[in-house]
Amino acid sequence: MSDSPIAVETHGPELRHHFADVEQQRDAASLGMWLFLATEVMFFGGMFCAYLVYRYWHFHEFAAGSRSLDIYLGTINTAVLICSSLTVALGVRAAQMGKQKLLVVYLLLTLVFGLTFLGIKGKEWYDKYEEHHIPGASFNADDIVKEYPQIPINQQYEQTFFSMYFAMTGLHALHMIIGVGLFTVLLYLALKGRYSANYYTPIENAGLYWHFVDIVWIYLFPLLYLIDRKPLK
């Protein structure tokens, strides 16, 4: 194998030997990432289906539950994630242009935004814990029931809303944590000078992942927080 004259061409250490050239490697990595995101769409999709079915059947309980969520924190989190996607995109651009220091800055900012999101989410969950809205033995939606004397809220279906809320935001948060982990590794490697204009595929692909997790939140936010937010009659 190594005797073949064709193998002797200059290439960086990033080229893995089962690929013919860097372009094939990059193409393969890109296709792989997009396919992986397709599987993630199916993963969240199953849950979105369950959510849509229950929301259609138990609209009042879902609307009431939605209004009990903190819309300010939710909106701030949405803004935080959108900004983080911006820093990710700018980071990819910086890597493309070979600007090492700028890349590090943007990676760092992305991490800050990501951790901020998780922190705010943690606070929201804590609030729900205090209000006894976490499904399970100690679930109690009396406060919500009292808020709507005109509508008999079925507490079981209210629990369903919160079950879906925690399942969906929980899985999303798990993906965020994985994203934060990924970007921490990228930051470390970027500081060691691993990435250049010739080789920034991991940044690009991790960026795709981050954008995807962001898009899932863009769907989650209106579906969970913005059901029927007009003033009550």
- Which residues of the shown chain bind another protein in the complex (CB under 8 A)? 1, 4, 16-20, 24, 27-28, 31-32, 35-36, 38-40, 42-47, 49-50, 53-54, 57-58, 60-61, 135-137, 150-154, 156-160, 163-164, 166-167, 170-171
Q: Minimum distance from CB of 73 to another protein (Å)?
A: 23
Q: Minimum distance from CB of 149 to another protein (Å)?
A: 9
Q: Minimum distance from CB of 148 to another protein (Å)?
A: 9
Q: Minimum distance from CB of 1 to another protein (Å)?
A: 5
| Of 24 and 184, CB closest to another protein | 24
| Of 53 and 82, CB closest to another protein | 53
| Of 72 and 138, CB closest to another protein | 138
| Of 156 and 198, CB closest to another protein | 156
| Of 47 and 83, CB closest to another protein | 47
Q: Minimum distance from CB of 25 to another protein (Å)?
A: 9
> Are 25 and 19 spatial neighbours (Cβ–Cβ below 8 Å)?
yes
